[in-house]
Amino acid sequence: MSGPVVYIIDDDASYLRAVSRLLRAAGMQVVIHTSAVEFLADLKPAATGCVLTDLQMPDMDGMALQAALHQAGSLLPIIFLTGQGDIPTSVQAMRRGAEDFLTKHAPKDVLIAAVSRALSRNEQAIAEQERRRALRARFELLTDREMEVLQHVLSGELNKQIADKLDIHERTVKLHRTSITTKLKVHSVAELARLVQAAGLFPHLWQAGTSSGQPAPPDFPKGQ
């Protein structure tokens, strides 16, 4: 099977069959599972598409599945289906990054739109991941010491501060910085910061003070 797949998980075989029929009729590729455990067992790391899962299931419920996927680093967006709108659960699910939260009786168009959105989101996420992987490959050229120096540079520290912390000579710090900019083919610290951010490295550095998912670049001191 190639192309994105909608993985549908529901312990109710009849609903499972019905919703899979609908999405197939809407031209999507569908794989069904009657339990989250079964789905996780079958899941290939390279799977693309999205997950459409019942929230309430015996053994492993939808929330547990979300946690498991998250832990496994899966990029599959999750759409939850629930028999009745349960607000506390939906809030929790959305906060943990659920793509959508629909009732089982949601109109066809809403369901199909949600699934399409999830599929394109997955596509984007994969592209994003691909891009980051390419960027990260560049960072692999750096030595451990250079990576260490890079972190300090991105924290906005001056060369002498860095030399002091790492107990090395200031000139050595300068050598490391030159080596970093040469290897990463960047020309300024700003450019370097953008590159690191795009590669998704050192996420802790831009966590503080951000409320949107998009981290803001660090406030670099002007000049060296």
**Any residues with CB less than 8 A from the CB of 13 and at least 6 apart, and which?**
34
**Contacting range for another protein; rule: CB under 8 A; set: 18-26, 35-43, 170-178, 207-215:** 18-26
Q: Which of 3, 45, 46, 84 binds another protein (CB under 8 A)?
A: 84
**Contacting range for another protein; rule: CB under 8 A; set: 13-21, 182-190, 199-207, 213-221:** 13-21
Q: Rounded to the nearest whole angstrom, what is the least distance from the CB of residue 120 to another protein in the complex?
A: 20
Q: Rounded to the nearest whole angstrom, what is the least distance from the CB of residue 121 to another protein in the complex?
A: 23
Contact 13, 105 (CB under 8 A): no
Is 145 a residue that touches another protein (CB under 8 A)? no
Q: Which of 58, 88, 213, 223 binds another protein (CB under 8 A)?
A: 58
Q: Which of 25, 67, 94, 190 binds another protein (CB under 8 A)?
A: 25
Query: What is the residue-wise DSSP string for 16-28?
Result: HHHHHHHHHHTT-
Q: How many CB atoms lie within 10 A of CB 98?
A: 22
**Any residues with CB less than 8 A from the CB of 199 and at least 6 apart, and which?**
132, 135, 136, 138, 139
**Any residues with CB less than 8 A from the CB of 118 and at least 6 apart, and which?**
50, 77, 78, 79, 99, 100
Angle between helices 144-154 and 170-184 (to 10 degrees): 100
Q: Which of 42, 67, 83, 145 binds another protein (CB under 8 A)?
A: 83
Binding mask 88-127 for another protein (x = CB under 8 A): ----------------xx--x-------------------
Q: How far apart are the first and last CA of the chain?
A: 54
67/127 with CB nearer another protein: 67
Q: Which residues bind another protein (CB under 8 A)?
A: 12-15, 17-19, 21-22, 24-26, 56, 58, 83-84, 104-105, 108
